[in-house]
Amino acid sequence: MDHSDRIFIHGVSLPELQEWITQAGEQKYRAMQIWEWLYHHQVEDWDGMKNLPKTLREKLSSSFVFAALERESVQESETGTRKILCRLTDGELIEEVLIPAADRRTVCVSSQVGCMFGCAFCASGQLGVKRNLKAGEIVGEVLAAQREYGDRITNVVFMGIGEPFDNYDEVIRAVRILNDPDGFCLGARRITISTCGVVPGIQRMEDEGLQVELSVSLHAPNDTTRDALMPVNVSWSLEELMETCRIYTLRTKRIITFEYTMIRGINDTEQDLADLIVLLTRFPCRVNLIPLSEIEEYDGRTSKRETVEKFINRLEKAGINTTVRWSKGVDVNAACGQLRSKSMGNSLRMKPVPQQSL
Protein backbone atom coordinates (compact mmCIF):
# COMPACT_ATOMS: atom_id res chain seq x y z
CA MET A 1 0.00 0.00 0.00
CA ASP A 2 1.30 3.46 -0.84
CA HIS A 3 1.41 5.59 2.32
CA SER A 4 3.35 8.46 0.83
CA ASP A 5 0.49 10.97 0.82
CA ARG A 6 -0.62 10.23 4.36
CA ILE A 7 0.86 11.37 7.67
CA PHE A 8 1.90 9.04 10.46
CA ILE A 9 -0.79 9.51 13.11
CA HIS A 10 1.69 9.01 15.97
CA GLY A 11 3.65 12.02 14.75
CA VAL A 12 0.69 14.38 15.18
CA SER A 13 0.40 16.37 18.41
CA LEU A 14 -2.90 16.72 20.27
CA PRO A 15 -3.37 20.42 19.32
CA GLU A 16 -2.71 19.52 15.67
CA LEU A 17 -5.23 16.70 15.86
CA GLN A 18 -7.79 19.05 17.42
CA GLU A 19 -7.25 21.50 14.58
CA TRP A 20 -7.62 18.75 11.98
CA ILE A 21 -10.82 17.48 13.64
CA THR A 22 -12.37 20.95 13.60
CA GLN A 23 -11.42 21.49 9.97
CA ALA A 24 -12.90 18.10 9.13
CA GLY A 25 -16.23 19.37 10.51
CA GLU A 26 -16.16 17.13 13.59
CA GLN A 27 -16.61 17.93 17.29
CA LYS A 28 -13.36 18.93 19.00
CA TYR A 29 -13.78 16.34 21.81
CA ARG A 30 -13.29 13.61 19.21
CA ALA A 31 -9.59 14.48 19.11
CA MET A 32 -9.20 13.48 22.75
CA GLN A 33 -11.06 10.25 22.10
CA ILE A 34 -8.65 9.43 19.27
CA TRP A 35 -5.71 10.41 21.46
CA GLU A 36 -6.92 8.01 24.19
CA TRP A 37 -7.25 5.18 21.69
CA LEU A 38 -3.73 5.85 20.48
CA TYR A 39 -1.93 6.22 23.78
CA HIS A 40 -4.10 4.69 26.51
CA HIS A 41 -5.49 1.70 24.64
CA GLN A 42 -2.75 1.69 21.99
CA VAL A 43 -4.95 0.33 19.23
CA GLU A 44 -3.20 -0.60 16.02
CA ASP A 45 -5.89 0.29 13.49
CA TRP A 46 -8.86 2.60 13.02
CA ASP A 47 -11.42 -0.15 13.58
CA GLY A 48 -10.15 -0.47 17.13
CA MET A 49 -11.45 3.06 17.90
CA LYS A 50 -14.85 1.71 18.81
CA ASN A 51 -16.62 4.86 19.97
CA LEU A 52 -15.88 6.77 16.74
CA PRO A 53 -18.46 6.87 13.96
CA LYS A 54 -17.48 4.92 10.84
CA THR A 55 -17.49 8.12 8.77
CA LEU A 56 -14.86 9.68 11.03
CA ARG A 57 -12.73 6.55 10.95
CA GLU A 58 -12.85 6.70 7.17
CA LYS A 59 -11.81 10.36 7.17
CA LEU A 60 -8.95 9.52 9.51
CA SER A 61 -7.72 6.65 7.38
CA SER A 62 -7.69 8.80 4.26
CA SER A 63 -5.43 11.38 5.95
CA PHE A 64 -3.31 9.40 8.39
CA VAL A 65 -1.55 6.07 8.60
CA PHE A 66 -0.19 3.94 11.44
CA ALA A 67 3.59 3.55 11.45
CA ALA A 68 3.38 -0.23 11.49
CA LEU A 69 6.77 -1.72 12.27
CA GLU A 70 7.18 -5.21 10.99
CA ARG A 71 9.38 -7.35 13.15
CA GLU A 72 12.05 -8.87 10.95
CA SER A 73 14.04 -10.71 13.61
CA VAL A 74 14.68 -10.70 17.33
CA GLN A 75 17.80 -11.73 19.16
CA GLU A 76 18.12 -12.10 22.88
CA SER A 77 21.27 -11.92 24.99
CA GLU A 78 21.99 -13.96 28.09
CA THR A 79 21.07 -10.91 30.16
CA GLY A 80 17.59 -10.64 28.64
CA THR A 81 18.43 -7.68 26.40
CA ARG A 82 16.60 -7.96 23.08
CA LYS A 83 17.70 -6.52 19.77
CA ILE A 84 14.81 -6.18 17.36
CA LEU A 85 15.31 -5.61 13.66
CA CYS A 86 12.25 -3.74 12.35
CA ARG A 87 11.10 -3.13 8.79
CA LEU A 88 9.51 0.27 8.21
CA THR A 89 6.56 0.82 5.88
CA ASP A 90 8.90 1.73 2.98
CA GLY A 91 10.96 -1.43 3.49
CA GLU A 92 13.94 0.19 5.26
CA LEU A 93 15.38 -1.56 8.31
CA ILE A 94 16.14 -0.13 11.74
CA GLU A 95 17.01 -1.63 15.10
CA GLU A 96 15.66 -1.07 18.55
CA VAL A 97 17.08 -2.56 21.72
CA LEU A 98 15.07 -3.48 24.80
CA ILE A 99 17.00 -3.46 28.05
CA PRO A 100 15.04 -4.83 31.00
CA ALA A 101 16.22 -4.27 34.57
CA ALA A 102 14.61 -4.87 37.94
CA ASP A 103 12.65 -1.63 38.02
CA ARG A 104 13.07 -0.40 34.43
CA ARG A 105 11.94 -1.29 30.96
CA THR A 106 14.15 0.77 28.71
CA VAL A 107 14.01 0.99 24.94
CA CYS A 108 16.89 2.29 22.87
CA VAL A 109 15.43 3.76 19.67
CA SER A 110 16.89 4.64 16.28
CA SER A 111 16.42 8.12 14.87
CA GLN A 112 17.71 7.58 11.32
CA VAL A 113 18.15 4.82 8.77
CA GLY A 114 21.95 4.69 8.89
CA CYS A 115 24.18 7.51 10.06
CA MET A 116 26.46 10.00 8.32
CA PHE A 117 28.93 10.48 11.18
CA GLY A 118 31.13 7.46 10.55
CA CYS A 119 32.59 6.82 14.01
CA ALA A 120 35.48 4.38 13.70
CA PHE A 121 33.96 1.79 16.01
CA CYS A 122 30.43 1.85 14.58
CA ALA A 123 29.12 -0.33 11.75
CA SER A 124 26.01 1.72 11.00
CA GLY A 125 28.04 4.90 10.58
CA GLN A 126 30.16 3.32 7.89
CA LEU A 127 27.25 2.91 5.49
CA GLY A 128 26.08 6.51 5.50
CA VAL A 129 22.58 7.80 6.14
CA LYS A 130 19.63 6.76 3.96
CA ARG A 131 16.89 8.85 5.51
CA ASN A 132 15.57 10.42 8.69
CA LEU A 133 12.84 8.73 10.66
CA LYS A 134 9.58 10.62 11.04
CA ALA A 135 8.40 11.41 14.57
CA GLY A 136 5.51 8.98 14.08
CA GLU A 137 7.96 6.19 13.33
CA ILE A 138 10.02 6.97 16.44
CA VAL A 139 6.90 6.98 18.63
CA GLY A 140 5.94 3.77 16.80
CA GLU A 141 9.23 2.21 17.93
CA VAL A 142 8.37 2.96 21.56
CA LEU A 143 4.85 1.55 21.26
CA ALA A 144 6.20 -1.57 19.54
CA ALA A 145 8.72 -2.01 22.35
CA GLN A 146 5.92 -1.75 24.88
CA ARG A 147 4.00 -4.49 23.10
CA GLU A 148 7.16 -6.60 23.09
CA TYR A 149 7.65 -6.11 26.83
CA GLY A 150 3.95 -6.58 27.54
CA ASP A 151 4.38 -3.83 30.11
CA ARG A 152 4.85 -0.09 30.29
CA ILE A 153 8.07 1.43 28.95
CA THR A 154 9.79 3.39 31.72
CA ASN A 155 12.74 4.92 29.83
CA VAL A 156 13.53 5.89 26.25
CA VAL A 157 17.07 6.51 25.08
CA PHE A 158 18.03 7.87 21.67
CA MET A 159 21.15 5.75 21.32
CA GLY A 160 20.16 3.48 18.46
CA ILE A 161 21.13 3.97 14.84
CA GLY A 162 21.54 7.58 13.76
CA GLU A 163 22.52 10.90 15.28
CA PRO A 164 19.41 12.43 16.91
CA PHE A 165 20.52 16.01 16.29
CA ASP A 166 20.93 15.27 12.58
CA ASN A 167 17.15 14.71 12.64
CA TYR A 168 16.46 17.37 15.24
CA ASP A 169 12.88 18.45 14.46
CA GLU A 170 11.41 14.96 14.22
CA VAL A 171 13.25 13.77 17.34
CA ILE A 172 12.01 16.73 19.41
CA ARG A 173 8.50 16.28 18.01
CA ALA A 174 8.57 12.61 19.08
CA VAL A 175 9.86 13.58 22.54
CA ARG A 176 7.02 16.08 23.02
CA ILE A 177 4.41 13.54 21.92
CA LEU A 178 5.80 10.86 24.26
CA ASN A 179 5.93 13.44 27.07
CA ASP A 180 2.34 14.68 26.61
CA PRO A 181 0.59 14.21 29.98
CA ASP A 182 -2.72 13.39 28.24
CA GLY A 183 -1.08 10.82 26.02
CA PHE A 184 1.83 8.43 26.55
CA CYS A 185 2.88 10.57 29.52
CA LEU A 186 6.52 9.57 29.77
CA GLY A 187 8.41 11.96 32.06
CA ALA A 188 10.98 14.04 30.19
CA ARG A 189 13.66 12.99 32.68
CA ARG A 190 13.11 9.42 31.57
CA ILE A 191 14.10 10.34 28.04
CA THR A 192 17.79 10.58 27.11
CA ILE A 193 19.08 12.11 23.90
CA SER A 194 22.61 11.04 23.05
CA THR A 195 24.68 13.05 20.61
CA CYS A 196 28.12 12.41 19.17
CA GLY A 197 28.81 16.13 19.59
CA VAL A 198 26.66 18.05 17.13
CA VAL A 199 27.15 21.52 18.60
CA PRO A 200 24.20 23.30 16.88
CA GLY A 201 21.86 20.61 18.23
CA ILE A 202 23.07 21.13 21.81
CA GLN A 203 22.63 24.89 21.37
CA ARG A 204 19.08 24.47 20.07
CA MET A 205 18.20 22.18 22.97
CA GLU A 206 18.93 25.01 25.41
CA ASP A 207 15.77 26.79 24.34
CA GLU A 208 13.40 23.81 24.16
CA GLY A 209 12.45 24.00 27.83
CA LEU A 210 12.53 20.21 27.99
CA GLN A 211 13.83 18.40 31.06
CA VAL A 212 15.26 15.53 29.01
CA GLU A 213 18.65 14.07 29.83
CA LEU A 214 21.49 14.93 27.48
CA SER A 215 24.35 12.55 26.92
CA VAL A 216 27.44 13.41 24.87
CA SER A 217 29.76 10.77 23.39
CA LEU A 218 33.24 12.07 24.21
CA HIS A 219 35.48 9.02 23.82
CA ALA A 220 38.72 11.04 23.69
CA PRO A 221 40.28 13.89 25.71
CA ASN A 222 42.15 15.55 22.83
CA ASP A 223 41.46 16.52 19.23
CA THR A 224 44.03 14.21 17.66
CA THR A 225 42.49 11.05 19.11
CA ARG A 226 38.94 12.30 18.76
CA ASP A 227 39.48 13.26 15.11
CA ALA A 228 40.61 9.69 14.46
CA LEU A 229 37.73 8.04 16.35
CA MET A 230 34.91 10.45 15.55
CA PRO A 231 34.96 12.48 12.33
CA VAL A 232 32.34 14.81 13.89
CA ASN A 233 35.28 16.33 15.78
CA VAL A 234 36.62 17.81 12.56
CA SER A 235 33.43 19.90 12.24
CA TRP A 236 33.15 20.80 15.94
CA SER A 237 36.38 20.59 17.90
CA LEU A 238 36.64 19.42 21.47
CA GLU A 239 37.10 23.00 22.67
CA GLU A 240 33.96 24.14 20.86
CA LEU A 241 32.02 21.12 22.12
CA MET A 242 33.06 21.56 25.77
CA GLU A 243 32.35 25.29 25.73
CA THR A 244 28.89 24.61 24.25
CA CYS A 245 28.27 22.00 26.96
CA ARG A 246 29.40 24.43 29.67
CA ILE A 247 26.97 27.08 28.45
CA TYR A 248 24.19 24.48 28.13
CA THR A 249 24.74 23.43 31.75
CA LEU A 250 24.84 27.02 32.94
CA ARG A 251 21.65 28.03 31.13
CA THR A 252 19.53 24.91 31.62
CA LYS A 253 20.88 23.82 35.04
CA ARG A 254 20.87 20.30 33.58
CA ILE A 255 23.83 18.00 34.16
CA ILE A 256 25.30 16.39 31.03
CA THR A 257 26.59 12.81 31.05
CA PHE A 258 29.74 12.26 28.99
CA GLU A 259 30.20 8.77 27.58
CA TYR A 260 33.81 7.59 27.43
CA THR A 261 34.46 4.26 25.74
CA MET A 262 37.80 2.96 27.00
CA ILE A 263 40.11 1.58 24.32
CA ARG A 264 43.47 0.11 25.28
CA GLY A 265 46.40 2.33 24.32
CA ILE A 266 44.15 4.68 22.36
CA ASN A 267 42.43 6.80 25.00
CA ASP A 268 43.36 5.21 28.34
CA THR A 269 46.94 6.41 28.94
CA GLU A 270 48.15 8.41 31.95
CA GLN A 271 48.14 11.55 29.79
CA ASP A 272 44.59 10.81 28.58
CA LEU A 273 43.44 10.56 32.18
CA ALA A 274 45.09 13.86 33.10
CA ASP A 275 43.55 15.57 30.05
CA LEU A 276 40.14 14.07 30.79
CA ILE A 277 40.21 15.42 34.33
CA VAL A 278 41.03 18.90 33.02
CA LEU A 279 38.13 18.71 30.55
CA LEU A 280 35.56 17.44 33.03
CA THR A 281 36.34 19.80 35.88
CA ARG A 282 35.37 22.88 33.88
CA PHE A 283 31.71 22.58 34.92
CA PRO A 284 29.49 20.11 36.82
CA CYS A 285 28.96 16.90 34.81
CA ARG A 286 28.97 13.12 35.01
CA VAL A 287 31.14 10.64 33.15
CA ASN A 288 30.22 7.11 32.20
CA LEU A 289 33.21 4.87 31.46
CA ILE A 290 32.49 2.04 29.06
CA PRO A 291 35.20 -0.58 28.55
CA LEU A 292 35.08 -1.21 24.80
CA SER A 293 33.06 -4.14 23.55
CA GLU A 294 35.40 -5.66 21.01
CA ILE A 295 33.74 -6.10 17.61
CA GLU A 296 34.78 -7.44 14.23
CA GLU A 297 34.50 -4.08 12.47
CA TYR A 298 37.00 -2.34 14.77
CA ASP A 299 40.36 -3.70 15.86
CA GLY A 300 40.61 -1.73 19.11
CA ARG A 301 40.92 -3.67 22.36
CA THR A 302 39.20 -3.04 25.64
CA SER A 303 41.10 -1.39 28.50
CA LYS A 304 42.51 -3.55 31.27
CA ARG A 305 40.43 -3.75 34.40
CA GLU A 306 43.12 -2.06 36.50
CA THR A 307 43.25 0.82 34.03
CA VAL A 308 39.49 1.31 34.28
CA GLU A 309 39.74 1.20 38.07
CA LYS A 310 42.53 3.79 38.03
CA PHE A 311 40.34 6.08 35.88
CA ILE A 312 37.41 5.69 38.29
CA ASN A 313 39.52 6.46 41.36
CA ARG A 314 41.29 9.46 39.90
CA LEU A 315 38.18 10.97 38.31
CA GLU A 316 36.26 10.60 41.55
CA LYS A 317 39.13 12.07 43.53
CA ALA A 318 38.92 15.06 41.18
CA GLY A 319 35.24 15.42 42.19
CA ILE A 320 33.76 14.06 38.96
CA ASN A 321 30.70 11.85 39.35
CA THR A 322 31.86 8.63 37.65
CA THR A 323 30.04 5.45 36.71
CA VAL A 324 31.36 2.44 34.86
CA ARG A 325 29.58 -0.19 32.82
CA TRP A 326 31.12 -3.62 32.63
CA SER A 327 28.19 -5.03 30.73
CA LYS A 328 29.81 -6.53 27.64
CA GLY A 329 28.32 -3.94 25.35
CA VAL A 330 24.67 -4.37 26.16
CA ASP A 331 24.39 -1.49 28.54
CA VAL A 332 22.15 1.28 27.42
CA ASN A 333 24.65 3.93 28.42
CA ALA A 334 27.21 2.68 25.93
CA ALA A 335 28.05 4.81 22.94
CA CYS A 336 25.28 5.33 20.47
CA GLY A 337 24.54 3.10 17.56
CA GLN A 338 26.00 -0.11 16.38
CA LEU A 339 28.91 -0.22 18.80
CA ARG A 340 26.53 -1.79 21.22
CA SER A 341 24.14 -3.63 18.97
CA LYS A 342 26.79 -5.17 16.73
CA SER A 343 28.73 -6.29 19.73
CA MET A 344 25.67 -7.96 21.16
CA GLY A 345 25.36 -10.00 18.02
CA ASN A 346 29.01 -10.97 18.00
CA SER A 347 30.07 -11.44 21.56
CA LEU A 348 26.97 -12.24 23.50
CA ARG A 349 25.81 -15.12 21.37
CA MET A 350 22.34 -13.66 20.90
CA LYS A 351 19.86 -16.39 20.24
CA PRO A 352 16.85 -15.95 17.95
CA VAL A 353 13.43 -15.87 19.60
CA PRO A 354 10.19 -16.96 17.92
CA GLN A 355 8.63 -14.54 15.44
CA GLN A 356 5.39 -12.77 16.23
CA SER A 357 4.02 -9.52 15.00
CA LEU A 358 4.77 -6.36 16.89
Q: In the complex with ligand SF4, which residue's Cβ is closer, 64 or 117?
A: 117
Residues of the shown chain interacting with ligand SF4 in the complex, contacts defined by CB under 6 A: 115, 117-119, 122, 124-125, 161-163, 196, 335-339
Q: Give the residue closest to ligand SF4 by C-beta.
A: 125
CB proximity list for 293: less than 8 A, separation 6 or greater? 302, 328, 329, 334, 339, 340, 343, 347
Q: What is the smallest separation between the CB atom of 69 and ligand SF4, expressed in angstroms?
A: 19
Q: Would you mind telling me the total number of residues written for the chain in this entry?
A: 358
Q: Give rounded-to-5 percent helix, strand, coil for the chain.
A: 40, 20, 40
| Nearest distance in Å: CB 118, ligand SF4 | 5
Closest contact distance (angstroms) between CB of 344 and ligand SF4 is 14
**Minimum gap (Å) between residue 197 Cβ and ligand SF4:** 9
Nearer of residues 291 and 337 to ligand SF4, judged by Cβ: 337
Rounded CA-CA distance 3/89 in Å is 8
- Assess whether 95 carries a catalytic annotation: yes
CA nearest to 291, candidates 319, 326, 318: 326
CA distance 284 to 156: 24
Which residue lies nearer to ligand SF4 by CB, 88 or 108? Answer: 108
Catalytic-labelled residue, pool 26, 86, 95, 170: 95
Query: What's the rounded Cα separation, in Å, for the pair 15 and 346?
Result: 45
Nearer to ligand SF4, 39 or 117 (CB): 117
Helices (H), 150-222: 168-179, 199-205
Q: Which residues are catalytic?
A: 95, 336
